[in-house]
Amino acid sequence: MSDSGLSSGDPVQSSDLFGPDPGSDPLAYYMTSEPAADIFLASNPEVASAWRSFAAGLADQCQCDFSSLQLYLDRHVEDLGMAFRHTGDEHERPWPLNPMPIVIGGEEWAAIEDGLVQRAELLEAVIADLYGAQRLIRDKHLPAAVVSGSANFARRVVGMKPAGGNFLHVCAIDLARGPNGEWRVLGDRVRLPIGIGYALENRLALGRATGGLLASIGTRRQAGFFEALRQGIAASCARAEPRMALLTPGRFNQSYPEQAHLARHLGISLVEGRDLTVREGKLFVRTIAGLKRIDALWRWIGSRDIDPLNFDSRSQIGVPNLVDAAAQGLVIANWPGSGVVESRAMSAFLPRLAEEILGEPLKLPNAATWWCGGEGERAYVLDNLDSLVVSSAFRRPVAGLPDGHTRLGSSLSSQEREELRDGMARRPMDYTAQEVVSLSTTPALADGRFEPRGFTVRAFLARDEAGNWKTLQGGFARVSQTGDLRTSLMGLGDISTDLCIVDPAAQQVAVPPPRLEAPQVRRDQGLLPSQAADNLFWLGRYGERAHQTVRIERTLLEQVAITGEGMGAVTAVTRLANLLRSLGAAPKESTRWQPSRLAGAALSDRKLSGSVRRISEHTAAIALLLRDRLTRDSWRAIQGTIPRYTPGDLESMSGACDRLVERFAALSRLMADGLSRGPAWSFLEMGTCLERASMILQAAGAMVPGSASAEDLSALLDLVDGQSLYRSRYVSMPYIAPVFDMVLLDPAQPRGFAFQIGQIEQHLGTLPSLRDDGLPEDPIRRARQLRARIEALDAEDLDSDTIGSLGLDLAGLSNAISRRYFLQDEGPVSQAKARLLG
Amino acid sequence: MIYNIRHATKVKYASPIAHALFNLRLIPWNWAGQTFRNFRLTITPQPSEREDHDGPYCVNTTRIAFRETLSEFDFLSEFEVEVDAPADPGDGPSVQLVRDDALEMLDISVLSPAPYLFASRIAQSDDEIRRWASGHFLPDIPIVKSARALMKAVHDEFTYKPGSTTSATSPSEAFGLRKGVCQDFAHVMIIALRSHGIPAAYASGYLRTNPPPGRPRLVGADAMHAWVNVWCGKDLGWVGFDPTNDCLARFDHIQIGMGRDYADVAPIDGTFVGTAPQQMKTAVDVIEGS
């Protein structure tokens, strides 16, 4: 026996001696100065083991190199197209997601859910009163200024009742966990539940990056929530199979990617104001098949901008008369004006309103809030300034808080205090104060280690088919980047993380999987708004233009490799260079340039409107507008950059062109394969065919003026990938007539001109007609005429004039398609501005 | 006092506009002390749809739609009104009492003070205007005295100059210029009042064209006019102050609408596809009747 207490006979675990191995339990050494104020350290043993096994799974996956894990996750985030903007950002930013989720046990969550549902019901009741009887104001439960102070109070809809009876369908509630584990509400969001799509995407990205880890710790799934939301909105509609759309402010909005993702996930149309029109009190979307009725809108536009005739006449993103449609049964989630309950001033009254309206206290308390419009409250706030945070009651800039931001009372200088006192004396109703909410910490991965970080959670609720509130099983958590977030202030630079609700293994068996009613099998593809058709058409055109431009460059480089860099006589090289200049891919002053320099510019000079780089950027910009329709793979292919090459090195540049040709070919395949065969696909294909036809004509026109050399014709064959076919057909060097016949007139040559026209004609034939007399519409008539004309042409007689006039016919066809199917209301809606007053 | 009012407007566009939808706000609201008779609103060409509704503020809105394209249109509003001039308001309660009262009213209707306490779309808060006006709002001064002094300050320090501002000029810019027309003066005064916690509203209407014998012609009489309604406590309610003419709105002012600022009562706004009007001509006659 030794004094150490270890007998040689006992098997000794290294963990007994040195503590647990950080690889198998990375949270073993995680500690904070206030363990009770850390959600992991304070969790019960079952939930703590879920935290531990998730962390261990992460460690296992990355061999404890947590930094590599972050990079891996970032790639999944990027693949999903997750991005956001801060107001004023020109470009989207990558989405910051932390790999370590926040884990809450099912039992604790059930209590939170109760409070959330109660709160949503309270908000609904308050809104219903303010837009109805207004009893709360008359009976002195709510001061009038708390309502009129909100920029979201929409007097225009007072007295109107929402279709289906509910003002709210979706809401988001911000929560904080205090140092003793108590949860508090920080704020309510009913106008725009920003984050709901990010919560969905965070889960997807995390799920993809961590394999089965989420399931292994018993994480509840979220799928049922979005289906409930959809059915909840649908149930309010008068028609049995309602048509829904998500109304977006457009792609420059900070949460546009989120909106596109949600529309895609819910299978509803993503529309902008200009897609919509109100006729005789009904809302319609302009589609390629004419106007189609819309029964419900999930709006992501603030009330003020939603209808320029009824609210702000300056709005360029709303729909004139939308309110009139709402009065006649259009379902809007959430109802215009709902945002009146979002103000901080309103939060101050919710505890009292809960007692008054529901007859019970709030189950999830507010952070204690005082509205300074009351004399007693004002005095209290001024006396206790040091222990409170002061805010603008309605989020406007006010004296003492010039940027409208919340300030810690103790941080105010004496001059600022003076301004605040002075402001409160003049306009007390502009101010609220809140207790300082201390935040719990959570173990977050930072710099490759687990560090305690303050966090808040945004939870989401939606009404289901029966009108009952359902909670998203999870949510969106914001983790502060720095260690010391101890107030309710949230800063920029925060990162997001997933919120996992877990059922410990013992209880998982007891919970039956949710039984969802399977939807009816259907094959229709929803409607195609004219604007989306327009975007698809141009996505096809730009994609193909990039593709063809690279082909021309590659042919140029190959010709140079054969004949050398000299540009003396008129050769195939000069003609290809001219073609690139006429396409805007090379500058006018490039006539004396070395061909390799010219090819380099045509590839990557951002200043040239026809360079491959610029066209690719255009393609990506249009793809943004179609985010809800493109698959992940297409999205990734579109984001690709120009491959590296050594400028001036023919070999390396040809290699770059080869890779681009492959990528563009793959992209058009991916895009086409990602769309089911219907109108959307047809517009993408028509754009591709039209562009290809146009490029072939331009190439033919450029390469064969008068007498073409064998090199010219060979280059032309290269452009349409026709070398081998030509050789197998003619067993001779290229001659003009046979080449023209193959390139322009042979309807069986898939890269030839005639084939493209045939394809366009076929696609047009599948599209819906607006005529009820059975006669063909203009675009298809033009396509047929053009095809007949091509059929009648003889390759021997083709000259520049004929090629030019085919070009005009093609342009006419393109214009006819755009007139018939796309929105013609170009330019924004403007309003009368002149002055009428003296 | 009885007046006959005729207000004609012609709007012309350089190129035809489509999908035109307009709000006209010309029908007088039902004010106490003003009795309107024989109101006629004639729109040429005849709109495809026309619908009148009350609100959302103290204003009647006529919504019109033209299904055909349009290169010009006229609207003519004609009516007769009998004005019972409001009594002299006296000095009224103190500024502080008005502030407190405004927050205590259990009412959010269009005539209550609460809707007119806060910054609105055009009348955004402005620290310089607040500081400029602060001398007039000591807590113990009677409200009518205080508002009169502010009105006089606007009248004396600003130059009335049509064309010096446009409808796109913000009140803050007009304040910087110390120039403008009735609309600018009204907005500046509204911002000043609200920044000191006093409810203030934008009133639109007409002035009598010809002055009574021995008095000068009022400024702004040849178009629609704007002035400021100040809420002077529970008992007095709304009192009209005209900073353009430095007088209370009593015998010579015919009130059409009241809102938080110009945007709520604009005689015309709307949406259409096309470019903004080339020309907008308006003529107002307010003739004493019998």
CA dist B130 → A426, B114, B190 (Å): 10, 19, 10
Question: How many CA atoms are closer than 13 Å to the CA of B218, on its beta-carbon side?
Answer: 31
Mean pLDDT of A82-95: 62
CA A624, CA A647: separation in Å to the nearest integer? Answer: 31
Under 8 Å CB-to-CB from A200, ≥6 apart: which residues? Answer: A222, A226, A261, A262, A265
Same domain, B20 and B111: no
Q: What CATH number does the domain containing B22 carry? A: 2.60.40.2250
Residue B255 lies in a domain: yes
Residue B261 lies in a domain: yes
Is A309 close to B21, i.e. CB distance below 8 A? yes
Smallest Cα–Cα separation from A479: which of A459, A502, A460, A457?
Answer: A457
Smallest Cα–Cα separation from A421: which of A395, A402, A394, A399?
Answer: A399
Residues of chain A with pLDDT > 70, as a percent, come to: 88
Chain-centre distance for alpha carbon A584: 32
Is A833 close to B276, i.e. CB distance below 8 A? yes
Query: Which helix or strand (DSSP H or E) is residue B253 part of?
Result: strand B253-259
What are the residues facing B50 on neighbouring strands? B64
Residue B112 lies in a domain: yes
Taking 3-state DSSP, the helix, strand and coil percentages for chain A, each rounded to the nearest 5, stand at: 50, 15, 40
Residue A753 has pLDDT above 50, yes or no: yes
Same domain, B170 and B115: yes
Is B274 close to A830, i.e. CB distance below 8 A? yes
Question: What's the one-letter identity of residue A417?
Answer: R
Is B23 close to A394, i.e. CB distance below 8 A? no
- 3-class secondary-structure state, position B65: strand
Angle at A28 between CA A56 and CA A38, to 5 degrees: 100
Residue B222 has pLDDT above 90, yes or no: no
Smallest Cα–Cα separation from A381: which of A334, A332, A337, A344?
Answer: A344
Reported for B133-137, long-range contacts at CB under 8 A and 24+ positions apart, including other chains, are B133/B192, B133/B193, B133/B195, B133/B196, B134/B196, B136/B192, B136/B196, B137/A426, B137/B95, B137/B196, B137/B198
Query: Tell me: the pLDDT tens digits for A122-155?
Result: 999 999 999 999 999 999 999 999 999 999 999 9
Same domain, B109 and B51: no
pLDDT band at A167 (very low <50, low <70, confident <90, very high): very high
pLDDT band at A521 (very low <50, low <70, confident <90, very high): low
* Mean pLDDT over each residue of chain A, to the nearest integer: 86
pLDDT for res A485 = 41
Q: Which residue has the tokens 């690889």?
A: A23
pLDDT for res A448 = 81
Is B107 close to A320, i.e. CB distance below 8 A? no
Chains A, B: CB contacts under 8 A, how many? 153
Q: pTM surpassing 0.90?
A: no
pLDDT band at A830 (very low <50, low <70, confident <90, very high): very low
List residues in chain A touching B: CB distance below 8 A: 134, 137-140, 143-145, 147-149, 155-156, 158, 308-309, 312-313, 320-321, 373, 375, 394, 396-399, 426-429, 825, 827, 829-838
pLDDT band at A522 (very low <50, low <70, confident <90, very high): low
Same domain, B111 and B221: yes
Taking 3-state DSSP, the helix, strand and coil percentages for chain B, each rounded to the nearest 5, stand at: 25, 40, 40
Instruction: Tell me the residue range of the domain where B46 lies.
Output: 2-83+266-288
pLDDT band at A834 (very low <50, low <70, confident <90, very high): very low
Q: Which residues of B touch A836 (CB under 8 A)?
A: 9, 223-224, 266-268, 280, 282
Which among A309, A312, A833 has the least Cβ separation from residue B23? A309
pLDDT for res A352 = 96
Is A831 close to B269, i.e. CB distance below 8 A? yes
Same domain, B273 and B140: no
Least confident span in A87-101, A420-434, A550-564, B270-284: A87-101
Other beta carbons less than 10 A from residue A442's beta carbon:
28
Mean pLDDT of B102-114: 97
Residue B252 lies in a domain: yes
Query: Tell me: the pLDDT tens digits for A801-815?
Result: 899 999 999 999 999
Under 8 Å CB-to-CB from A387, ≥6 apart: which residues? Answer: A409, A410, A435, A436
pLDDT for res A675 = 83
pLDDT band at A832 (very low <50, low <70, confident <90, very high): very low
Among B13, B73, B103, most A C-beta atoms within 10 A, so best to mutate, is B103
Query: Tell me: the pLDDT tens digits for A300-329?
Result: 999 899 999 999 888 888 999 999 999 999
Tell me, yes or no, if B25 comes closer than 8 A to chain A by beta carbon. Answer: no
pLDDT band at A661 (very low <50, low <70, confident <90, very high): very high
pLDDT for res A8 = 43
pLDDT for res B74 = 95
pLDDT band at A505 (very low <50, low <70, confident <90, very high): low
Q: Which residues of A touch B23 (CB under 8 A)?
A: 309, 313
Q: Judge whether A50 and A101 are in contact, CB under 8 Å.
A: no
Q: Residue A592 phi/psi, 5° resolution?
A: -100, 10
Number of domain units in chain B: 2
Question: What's the one-letter identity of residue B176?
Answer: G
Residue B70 has pLDDT above 60, yes or no: yes
Mean pLDDT of A18-31: 79
Same domain, B168 and B25: no
Same domain, B18 and B127: no
CA A555, CA A714: separation in Å to the nearest integer? Answer: 10
Which among B99, B115, B269 has the least Cβ separation from residue A313? B269
Most confidently predicted of A417-431, A491-505, A598-612: A417-431
Tell me, yes or no, if B63 comes closer than 8 A to chain A by beta carbon. Answer: yes
Same domain, B201 and B215: yes
In angstroms, how far is the first alpha carbon of chain B from the final one?
A: 8
Residue B151 lies in a domain: yes
Under 8 Å CB-to-CB from A2, ≥6 apart: which residues? Answer: none
Which among A320, A429, A837 has the least Cβ separation from residue B224? A837
CA A211, CA A66: separation in Å to the nearest integer? Answer: 16
pLDDT band at A527 (very low <50, low <70, confident <90, very high): confident
Q: Which residues of B touch A138 (CB under 8 A)?
A: 106-107
pLDDT for res A335 = 97
Is A309 close to B63, i.e. CB distance below 8 A? yes
Among B271, B278, B280, most A C-beta atoms within 10 A, so best to mutate, is B271
Residue B172 has pLDDT above 80, yes or no: yes
Q: Judge whether A381 and A431 are in contact, CB under 8 Å.
A: yes
User: How does DSSP assign B149-216, residue by residue?
Assistant: HHHHHHHHHSEE-TTSS-TT--HHHHHHHTEE-HHHHHHHHHHHHHHTT--EEEEEEEE-SSPPTTSP
Least confident span in A216-220, A272-276, A366-370, A487-491: A487-491
Same domain, B189 and B260: yes
pLDDT for res A514 = 46
Strands (E), A288-414: 290-293, 296-299, 331-333, 369-371, 388-392, 407-408
Kindly provide the ipTM of the predicted complex, given to two decimals: 0.96
Q: What CATH number does the domain containing B124 carry? A: 3.10.620.30
Same domain, B188 and B261: yes
Residue A101 has pLDDT above 90, yes or no: yes
Which among A140, A394, A836 has the least Cβ separation from residue B9? A836
pLDDT for res A705 = 64
Is A825 close to B273, i.e. CB distance below 8 A? yes
Residue B80 has pLDDT above 70, yes or no: yes
Q: Which residues of B touch A823 (CB under 8 A)?
A: none
Name the H helices within B64-164. Answer: 95-104, 127-133, 143-157
Tell me, yes or no, if B61 comes closer than 8 A to chain A by beta carbon. Answer: no
pLDDT for res A482 = 59
pLDDT for res B204 = 97
- Smallest CA–CA distance, residue A137 to chain B, in Å, is 6
Query: Tell me: the pLDDT tens digits for B5-43?
Result: 999 999 999 888 888 999 999 999 999 889 999 999 999
pLDDT band at A722 (very low <50, low <70, confident <90, very high): confident
Residue A427 has pLDDT above 70, yes or no: yes
Name the H helices within A564-649. Answer: 572-582, 595-604, 612-625, 632-639
Mean pLDDT of A555-578: 78
Is B115 close to A148, i.e. CB distance below 8 A? yes
- Smallest CA–CA distance, residue B217 to chain A, in Å, is 14
Tell me, yes or no, if B107 comes closer than 8 A to chain A by beta carbon. Answer: yes
Is A838 close to B115, i.e. CB distance below 8 A? no
Q: Which residue has the tokens 């307009």?
A: B22
Query: Tell me: the pLDDT tens digits for A570-626?
Result: 678 888 898 999 999 999 888 888 888 899 999 999 899 899 999 998 888 888 888
Same domain, B147 and B158: yes
Residue B167 lies in a domain: yes
Is B166 close to A429, i.e. CB distance below 8 A? no
Q: Which residue segments constitute the domains of chain A, with CATH numbers given?
A: 103-169+189-339+461-479 (3.40.50.11290), 368-435 (3.30.1490.270), 530-766+776-821 (no CATH)
Residue B161 lies in a domain: yes
Residue B90 lies in a domain: no
CA A51, CA A60: separation in Å to the nearest integer? Answer: 14
CA dist B133 → A247, A431, A781, B124, B185 (Å): 44, 22, 71, 15, 13
CA A172, CA A200: separation in Å to the nearest integer? Answer: 14
pLDDT for res A520 = 58
Same domain, B17 and B142: no
Q: How many helices (H) and strands (E) does chain B have?
A: 7, 14
Residue A511 has pLDDT above 50, yes or no: no
Mean pLDDT of B75-97: 93
Query: Tell me: the pLDDT tens digits for A226-254?
Result: 999 999 999 999 988 899 999 999 877 77
Mean pLDDT of A69-84: 71
CA dist A187 → A117, A193, A368, B154 (Å): 14, 12, 11, 42
* Mean pLDDT over each residue of chain B, to the nearest integer: 93
